[in-house]
Structures are given as C-alpha cells and as structure tokens.
Amino acid sequence: MTEKPPVSIFGLGYVGLTFAATLASRGFKVVGYDIDEGKLELIKRGKSPFYEPGLEELLAKAVSDGNLTVTRDPGEAVAGTDATFITVGTPEGLDGRADLTQLHSALKDLGKGLANKRSWHLVVIRSTVPPGTSRSAAKLLEEMTGKRCGVDFGLCMNPEFLREGNAVEDNLNPDRVVIGECDKRSGDFLEGFYKAFLGERLPPILRTSLENAELIKYANNAFLAMKISFINMIANLCERIPYADVEEVARGIGLDKRIGPYFLKAGLGWGGSCFPKDLKALLRVGEDVGVDLPLVRATVEVNERQPYKAVEFAERALGDLRGKRVAVLGLAFKPNTDDMRGAVSIKIVNKLVEKGAVVVVYDPKAMPNAKRIFGDKVEYAESALDAIRGADCAIFVTEWDEFKSLKLGEVAKLMKNPIIIDGRRIFDPRTIPPTVKYYAIGLGWR
C-alpha cells in the first residue's frame, strides 16, 4: 500500500462529505461520488449542501488544492482509487427496519467498476447496517463481478461514531477505530490507511468480524440513548420531589467512574438522524431472530413521551392553550446543526398547533428546514427576542449558545405573560428573576 492511498467515497451526506473533506485536508486524494447532481455541483465550487461547523473551510481548500474531486461516474471513481468507502444513508423503512435501498444501488454502481478493475480493491461499508448485511454485500459483489471476496477484492465494515455539529473534529479524533474484516488483507489495508490518516492521534484499533462491527454500532447508539432516557426518567421523578434537581443528581452519579458524566443531560428527549432510526432497526433485528430487547424498547418509550413534557408545562402555566401565543425557541435536533431530522421540536410544535395555540418559531440555523416542515402552520420570527415579544409563554427546545446569553429579566418585560419553559436546562435556576414564572425539566417544586 502506498502511504496515502487514493480513495473514493460513495454518498456525500454528513458522514461521507465530512470524511472526504478531512481526508483531503490530510493530503489524501479523494474522489467523491453521489447520485445527486445538484450536490456535486455545489461541492465542486467548494460549498457544503448542509451546515456543519468548519466543513466549508475544509471543502473550499480541498477542492482548490485538487485533493477532492467529484464525479458522476462510479466506474471512474473505482478505477482511479484503491478503496471505496460506502457512506450512503440507511433511513428508517416503513416497518422500522433499516431501508437498504441506497446501499444496494451504491453496491450495484460499485460492482460495475469493480468488474472492470484488474487490481485488488477494498470495499468499506461505513453506513450503519443490520448484522449480516456486509456479508450479503460481499456475496452480491461476487455474483455481479465473478470475483472472489478475500482474493480479488476485500471488504470491511467500519462503523463511524460522528456527532453532527462535531463531525469534522470527530473524524480527526475518534475514540477508537472498529474494523470488521472479511479477511486479513482487507483489515491490514484499512488499519494501514487509518495509521496514515490519524498519525500520532491514532486511537485503539479493534479488529473483528463483520457482524461484530455491525453490532457495535447499534449497541453503541442504543447504550447512549439509554443513558439519556434513564436520566430523563429520573428528571421526571425529580420534578415531583420538592428541592430535587436532576442536574445535581446527574453530576453526582456522573462522578462515579463506572457511570461517567457523558450523555446524562436531561431534556426534552433525543432526536436526530441516527438514534431514532437505529433503535427501531435494532428492535426489528431482535424480533427477526426471536430475541426481546426490553431495555431498548423502554429507551424508545421514555423518549416518545418526553417532548410532550413541554406542552404539559405550558398547560400547567396557562390552562387552555387555545389562542395563546407560544414561542418555540430552537428547532434543530441539537445545537450547531440545521438538521431537523427526528427533532423533538416537530412533535412539540404539532401538539401545540393541535391544541389551538398560535405558535411562533425561531432557530439560529434551521429556519429553511423548519419552513419546509411546518409551512404556514406557524409564524416565523427573525430572532429569539422577536419570537418572544408579546408571547404568553416561551419554550426553549434546543440549547443554542445564543439563548444562554439572554437576560431573562429583559425577556420577561417583552412577554405578555413571563412564563419560561426550559426544556434543556439552559438557565441557572438560582438566577431566575422573581418576575419570571420558570418551569424546567427535572426541577422539583420549591
């Protein structure tokens, strides 16, 4: 293997494009392929089709340096590179199973290029796929090309653990690299590739079977989501206990090294493009092999109810919501992204509208996506203060930094009723001015 082998990336979404840009920034030659021509045109101009901190700077440089090119011809992408990473989406299918349509079409595109290639080529599945999928993919490629996996080409399953809003940093500083391999040569190649990419920052590398690598990804997401649902369950208990506060409880248990402080932030529930669909897919995997997964089921159940806590607080404060003006602040599923996939804000806004409230929304980045989702059901504000002005109640749904600096005393003066619902524990309860009626997740009455 050359020190930095040229690679192709099939699927230029969050995972693929941030991976492509960070590899190119480390001097790799990267060829990107996607079926969306509009996306390719943007990338060619060094522009990102979505917001992700630090990405556009990297992209612009990668394209102008010539390290990142894009093509509409998958055969050309395979011919000119030593390995192809598949990073297409595996969204939730109708029955909750992972929808593998994009993976199958990427494999077909890849297979055509592979059939014509004389030299060995490595295929790396980086998309999240149910156990058994990578082995089936190897068989499909064998049938398409007449070549043998483990001899004429290699295949690895290499899950990613990127967080949106942190994807560039996470690509460069992973906690570990998991390599599921169909044969030793494939695993050796991918290990060498990561050594060249991450250099001194190389984390532990785990070499394992294809199926274990697939399971690690699902188990990882399920465990993280379970931690959040656990603390949300404790938050709901805290609210009924005078002087209790889930933030303190989380701090206390997080100091136990066996538990750790991460993913114990109580709030209105988890959303996003991964947790919701991956937990559902994992439940389906269990069903398909006849194994009940009660902790995963409970994790999902707790999360399905959690967003409605915001509406319950509003009703507790205002009674009937009909005709009440409610400001919803923060729509993205978490800060530093414009992504609203699986965002809890969608459930909250829809429920408020259903109850007859006049809803005005604001998000620092997600307004274009919000307009596509909510249409004319809601009003759109230009700023947080604009949303709050004249409102009967303000609900904070995403913990954007710009909300943290709001002075609640000033905010209260703008509102018709100074009712603040803190769905993400943005504000310190000890500093709430007496003029504000403050409700927060996990805060007991006092």
User: Taking contact as CB under 6 A, which single stretch among the options 86-94, 262-270, 358-366, 437-445 is the one that binds ligand UDX?
Assistant: 262-270
Measured distance CA(217)–CA(130) in Å, rounded: 9
Interaction between residue 161 and ligand UDX (CB under 6 A): yes
Interaction between residue 275 and ligand UDX (CB under 6 A): yes
Closest contact distance (angstroms) between CB of 275 and ligand UDX is: 5
Q: 393 catalytic, yes or no?
A: no
Among 19, 270, 374, 396, which residue sits at the site for ligand UDX (rule: CB under 6 A)?
270
Interaction between residue 51 and ligand UDX (CB under 6 A): no
Locus of tokens 């009455």: 445
Site string for ligand UDX, 214-253 (x = CB under 6 A): -------x--x---x-------------------------
Closest alpha carbon to 150 in 173, 122, 174:
122
Closer by beta carbon to ligand UDX, 22 or else 67: 22
Could you tell me how many residues make up the chain?
Answer: 446
Measured distance CA(424)–CA(319) in Å, rounded: 22
Helix (H, G, I), strand (E, B) or coil at 114: helix
Among 39, 135, 309, 334, which residue sits at the site for ligand UDX (rule: CB under 6 A)?
334
Q: Which of 182, 238, 274, 393 is catalytic?
A: 274
Alpha helices (runs of H) in 255-308, residue ranges in sequence order = 275-288, 294-305
Cβ atoms of residues 66 and 31 within 8 Å: no
Interaction between residue 264 and ligand UDX (CB under 6 A): yes
Closest contact distance (angstroms) between CB of 64 and ligand UDX is: 28
Residue 344 tokens read as 């809890």
Alpha helices (runs of H) in 66-119, residue ranges in sequence order = 74-79, 101-115
Cβ atoms of residues 12 and 34 within 8 Å: yes
Q: 164 to 193, contacts with ligand UDX by CB under 6 A?
A: 164
Cβ atoms of residues 326 and 336 within 8 Å: no
Closer by beta carbon to ligand UDX, 50 or else 270: 270
Closer by beta carbon to ligand UDX, 1 or else 295: 295
Rg (CA), the chain: 24
| Active site amino acids | 274
Q: Which residues bind ligand UDX (CB under 6 A)?
A: 160-164, 221, 224, 228, 263-265, 267, 270-272, 274-275, 333-334
